[in-house]
Amino acid sequence: MQTATTILMVRPANFGFNPETADNNFYQHPDTRSSTEINTLAQKEFDDFVSMLRDQGINVLVEEDTFAPAKPDAIFPNNWFSTHPDGKLILYPMYSPNRRLERRKDLIENLIKRRFTVEEIIDLSFFEDDDQYLEGTGSMVMDHQSKTIFACYSERTHPIPLDYLGKLIGYKVVGFHATQEIHGVSTPIYHTNVMMHIGTDLSVVCLDSISKASEKQNLQKCLTQAGKKVVPITPKQKFHFAGNMLEVGNDGGEKFTVMSETALDSLNIGQIQLIEKYSTIISPSIPTIEKLGGGSARCMMAEIFLQATK
């Protein structure tokens, strides 16, 4: 199952620019507006996003962020946990100390209260003790159909926890190096889901960000063997969050590709037509969240693949 029909989203209480993550997330930009105004804008963007998803019959579980301690990136829950159809719930090691506060036991308990079956909780946060990080489905893009994890290495995506997880869940790991030019300097892309998306039938990927020919060819080969139509995007489109997409479904069997309005506006007609061949596009407007948080639509959605009991 590649496409979840239930997603979890966290409504922000203290959304804002996070200086702890800004040193390697070059998509973040500070703002001079008051923290109250910024959070109010983010909440409005969040609420409108949730409404767009629910209007299409997608099941959205909304959890409220706690006001204290302050967690400026709580709106991006996909980095601290993932769920799997066999009942596993995995907690991940996070680069930023203040992001580790996002791992909330009560959110997991609420899933169980909603009758989702959690058979096993696997906590990988011990890797933080050795400065080893793997930030969930930000660091990794998973193809559940071919049981493959795709990941670009960075300060937030280390090979040891990545390989450990692959063995743990029985997935092949395809690791590579992807970079972007920042002020004339080649810099690692901090999260794989910035430059790559995988749906049931296609993959959107910034191949130009992979400089090593062997790694680029291997990635293309693995995607093709997995039956994916590859839709290339440019580095400029990537900077507009065009790689930050997620395919979700509703109970009626319809598929949707969710990306921000910023991402959609950056795509050309051919790219849009290819995506629309396989799914309907949902494109919320989230400029405040993108500018200050440095993340986009995909980052705001944690997929719930757990089985639900009646």
Residue 17 has a pLDDT of 53
Rounded (10°) CA dihedral 108, 113, 117, 120: 40
At residue 28, the pLDDT reads 44
Note the pLDDT of residue 24. 52
What's the pLDDT at 264? 98
**Residue 227: is its pLDDT beyond 90?**
yes
Collect all residues with Cβ–Cβ distance below 8 Å to 250 and sequence separation of at least 6: 5, 56, 57, 58, 59, 256
Average pLDDT over residues 300-310: 93
**35, containing H or E segment:** helix 35-55
Q: Which two tokens stand for residue 7?
A: 């997603």
What pLDDT does 27 receive?
Answer: 44
- In degrees and rounded to multiples of 5, residue 108 shows phi and psi of -65, -45
Q: Give the count of beta carbons closer than 10 Å to the beta carbon of residue 290.
A: 24
| Structure tokens given for 154 | 């960075």
Radius of gyration of the chain (CA): 18
Structural domain spans, the chain: 6-303
Residue-level pLDDT at 289:
93
Statement: residue 76 has pLDDT above 60: yes
pLDDT digits (tens, 9 = 90+) for 11-50: 999 886 555 554 555 444 556 567 778 889 999 999 999 9
At residue 36, the pLDDT reads 79
Residue 26: its pLDDT value, please?
47
pLDDT tens-digit series, residues 169-218: 999 999 999 998 878 888 999 999 999 999 999 999 999 999 999 999 99
Angle of CA points 211, 212, 215, to nearest 5° = 120
pLDDT at residue 224 greater than cutoff 70: yes
Higher pLDDT, residue 111 or 309: 111
What does the CA dihedral 308, 106, 6, 41 come to, rounded to 10 degrees?
Answer: 160
Residue 161 — pLDDT band, cuts 50, 70, 90?
A: very high
pLDDT in tens, 91-101: 999 999 989 99
Share of the chain above pLDDT 70, in %: 94
Residue 241 CB burial class (10 angstroms; 0-12, 13-18, ≥19)? buried
Q: Are 180 and 189 in contact (CB under 8 A)?
A: yes
The pLDDT confidence band at residue 70, using thresholds 50, 70 and 90, is confident
* Distance, CA of 141 to CA of 149 (rounded, Å): 6
- The pLDDT value given to residue 22: 45
pTM of this prediction exceeds 0.75 = yes
Q: Domain 6-303 belongs to what topology?
A: L-arginine/glycine Amidinotransferase; Chain A (3.75.10)
